[in-house]
A and B are shown apart, each in its own frame.
Chain A
Amino acid sequence: ELKVEQNPLFLSMQEGKNYTIYCNYSTTSDRLYWYRQDPGKSLESLFVLLSNGAVKQEGRLMASLDTKARLSTLHITAAVHDLSATYFCAVDETGANNLFFGTGTRLTVIP
């Protein structure tokens, strides 16, 4: 059975600091997605990574994908309070948009 594991599950960090969220998965998929979810809200797409070595950056967030290691990272640079949310990685195992989500990382940025 496909497993998608994120760590840490909870992350509390100070504004201005850097940190990385890790997403390990157990399949050979080369399609990985990162989403943000605010409390009580839906999922907002952050990054779509479709090949080994893919790296994408948007503002203070940068995502990468290593399909050989079955690992994706979401790096946060100089965190600000507005980044507080839960972040999910999701793997498309079948290549047909059937997404398998990780457990999520709840990020709290402290002023």
Chain B
Amino acid sequence: DAGVTQSPTHLIKTRGQQVTLRCSPKSGHDTVSWYQQALGQGPQFIFQYYEEEERQRGNFPDRFSGHQFPNYSSELNVNALLLGDSALYLCASSLGLAGNNEQFFGPGTRLTVL
């Protein structure tokens, strides 16, 4: 049973560039959430996708956008990268939107912006 997978593992970009991160949810899950974890901090919720629509969004600018595909996989896009976007980006999947359905986290993508 495949867990949550993310790609790439590491990524280095320069300021102003754009980046796309990818996530495949755990088998049987249909909801994907994205989190940003800066060094030494707890993860922060970016947004959540269900049925190919953004359902909830955290306090992140419009430079952060996403997409969910019919197979439930998801992408996170960040435009006009800033140094402060350097972080570990975590994808989590769950079944449906109910809060009592546990989220499972992927291994993360480490983004470095130079």
Q: State the A residues within 8 Å of B (CB).
A: 4, 31, 33, 35, 41-45, 48, 50, 88, 90, 92, 94-104
B contact residues, range: 20 to 34
Max count, chain A CB within 10 A of own CB: residue among B104, B105, B107:
B105
Return the chain B residue nearest A6 by Cβ. B42
Return the chain B residue nearest A50 by Cβ. B100
Give 1 or 0 for each of B92-114: 1 = CB within 8 Å of chain A CB.
10100111111111111000000
Candidates B43, B45, B98, B100; contact of A43 at CB < 8 Å: B43
A49 to chain B, nearest CB (A): 10
What is the CA–CA distance of A40 and B55 in the complex, to the nearest angstrom?
29
Given contacts A98-B45, A102-B42, contact A48 B107 (CB under 8 A): no
A97 near B48 with CB under 8 A, answer: yes
Indicate if B65 sits at the interface (CB-CB under 8 A).
no
A96 near B56 with CB under 8 A, answer: yes
Q: For the A-B complex with A98-B48, A98-B56, A102-B42 known, give 18 more contacts whose Cβ atoms are closer than 8 Å.
A: A33-B102, A42-B105, A42-B107, A42-B108, A43-B90, A44-B105, A45-B103, A48-B100, A88-B42, A92-B99, A96-B98, A97-B33, A97-B92, A97-B103, A98-B45, A99-B35, A99-B45, A101-B44
